[in-house]
Structure 1
Amino acid sequence: MATTTPLIWLITGSSVGLGAALATHVLKSGHKVIATARNIASASEANPEIASLGGQWMTLDVTSRNSGLVIQEALTVFGRIDVLVNNAGYSLLGAVEDISEEEARDQFDTNFFGPLRLIRSILPSFRAQRSGTIINVSSVAGIDGLPTCGLYAGSKFALEGLSESLAHEVSDFNIRVLVVEPGAFRTRFLQSCTFPERETTSDYLGNTVGNTLKYFEGLDGMQPGDPVKCCSTIFDIVTKSGVASGLEKEYLRLPIGIDALDRVDKKIRHMKETVEALRGITSNTNF
């Protein structure tokens, strides 16, 4: 059944990209939004429509150990939260060998521990009201890791594993977990990618690593996905309306974009081939 009562959404990383697009779409659809960003002055200036449509900005740095306090602040102001969208994140691109431990930890602190802190902070409220939706914005990289994306894919794989287990744990409380796995959408995501401080090891420059870095450089501004359509689809899935009005089952994963679907299909085929090829070897290992 489609959601008719306006929901209160808290969206992290609302200053750019899918976060800003989703906040705008949710507000235009008659729901309420708590939009968060590290710098709400610049974020609100860049996205004036969010405030003009009734959205409220709150400061949030997802890497802060105290980031969960924003949940309590939002609950004090609005009384409840219905949808938590863990959208804030970035990509560290480079050969695994060239990435420092500090850079790897920073990647996980934003993409994995940031969502984890907010999830743990909001669950008591969701359990008390016996409802709530947690949307973890992953990536098709959380299913299929490309070269140069080792730490980014690793952080998203971790987020997917967390989400899968979490969904089992909270289903008894009528809490839904949705993992969004976008392909390439035309946002500023690639412009905000970071690279290792260490220069790319020369051996990698002329092979898969170097070629993939060039591919991403050329993809910026040419991504096939429309972020507005992406966010409309996410909204419909959550509210069981629009293109999702006929869906009876609530799915854990939402691969979105033709390119994402193609990569997921390829991964499934590869895993099935692996299982079937090795079944006779690995199945006879019980006592």
Structure 2
Amino acid sequence: MSAYAWLITGASSGQGTELALAALRAGHRVIATARSVAAAKSAVPEIERLGGTWIWLDVTDANAEVIVAEAVKKYGVNVLVNNAGYGLRGVLEDLSMSQIRAQMETNFFGALAVTKGAIPTFRSQCSGTIVMISSASGFSGTPSQSMYSASKFALEGASESLAEELAPFGVRVLVVELGAYRTPFQNAVAKPEDVMSEAYKGTVSDLTAQRITAGHGRQAGDPVKAAEAIVDVVTGAGKGKDLGNIFRLPLGRDAVSRAYTKMKLFSNDIENCKDLANSASFDVAWEGYPPL
């Protein structure tokens, strides 16, 4: 029996499906979740054929934490993957607060509920890996999808703290920053012409959204290779054998490029303002703060 049992949210399509299949093909056990198990079984019969198990889960459901806690115990889960989520297109000015809250409810609060369900068992057994499926837009903001970026930035911020909170218990947190991948993800994202108000037509937001839409189906990212990479990094196999200590895993050439660009801009800002920044402190401060 495999030492790895994966619980993967949003496994009925896209990257979630490919990750479930990659884990199963590597000989691991998989508990795949979907909001409609019947539809998922019909859409992806390979998961059951390879030995995977489907369970119902809506990450926004009030009982999501309890459902995950019970599943983790029942199936001996030791790898949790927060993959469920969707993209929201539109500039902040044009989005309603209900749209904004719904985006955060699924991509951020839903992931936290699922994670809280797994933590007690992972902590008590002093082992386990929590994988947060983020995005290049969760490290480098994207005009035309500010709230999608916000949901992933929030997830990454929480994950940074969570990684340190759980490290004493032998539990790992891994953030995966996906670039543009050839999955159905963009099928559910509104077209620019349907959401971009007149004031923003022709601006960087509109042009970025148009470029993303035009590139759908031709993205450079291979979801099968991405899934295999995640499995390798989690298990320390293949190309992931020396990556047991990494926290962020950017996947795709575009994700790597955007990360380097962001770090360069951030480094330049720090260098340019460091004298001013350091001057905004008391001359004598408490030596024990800030924490190292």
Superposed counterparts of 1:186-265, under 5 Å: 186-194=182-190, 199-247=195-243, 249-265=244-260
Aligned to 1:156: 152
Among 136, 141, 159, the alignment partner of 1:140 is 136
Question: Relative to structure 2, which stretch is displaced further, 258-267 or 207-216?
Answer: 207-216
The whole-number CA distance in structure 2 between the counterparts of 1:252 and 1:246 is: 13
The whole-number CA distance in structure 1 between the counterparts of 2:195 and 2:149 is: 21
1:257 maps to a residue whose letter is G
The whole-number CA distance in structure 1 between the counterparts of 2:257 and 2:73 is: 44
Assess if the C-alpha contact under 8 Å between 2:5 and 2:28 holds in 1: yes
Aligned to 1:165: 161
* 1:281 matches 2:251: no
More contact order relative to length (CA 8 Å, sep ≥ 6): 1
Superposed counterparts of 1:1-287, under 5 Å: 5-75=2-72, 77-78=74-75, 80-194=76-190, 199-247=195-243, 249-287=244-282
Partner of 2:229, secondary structure, is helix
The whole-number CA distance in structure 2 between the counterparts of 1:279 and 1:123 is: 39
Q: Deviations over 1:251-278 (max 9, x none)?
A: 1100111110000000000000111111
**Backbone CA RMSD of aligned residues:** 1.7
Question: Relative to structure 2, which stretch is displaced further, 83-92 or 67-76?
Answer: 67-76
The whole-number CA distance in structure 2 between the counterparts of 1:68 and 1:52 is: 28
Assess if the C-alpha contact under 8 Å between 1:92 and 1:195 holds in 2: no
The whole-number CA distance in structure 2 between the counterparts of 1:72 and 1:260 is: 33
The whole-number CA distance in structure 2 between the counterparts of 1:40 and 1:279 is: 54
Deviation at 1:246, TM superposition (A): 3.2
Partner of 2:47, secondary structure, is helix
Deviation at 1:145, TM superposition (A): 0.6
Partner of 2:140, secondary structure, is coil
Deviation at 1:72, TM superposition (A): 3.4
Name the % identity: 44
Structure 2 unaligned runs (5+)? 283-292
Assess if the C-alpha contact under 8 Å between 1:112 and 1:159 holds in 2: yes
TM (normalized to structure 1)? Answer: 0.95
The whole-number CA distance in structure 2 between the counterparts of 1:200 and 1:113 is: 27
1:57 maps to a residue whose letter is W
The whole-number CA distance in structure 1 between the counterparts of 2:131 and 2:100 is: 24
User: Between Structure 1 and Structure 2, how many residues are aligned?
Assistant: 282
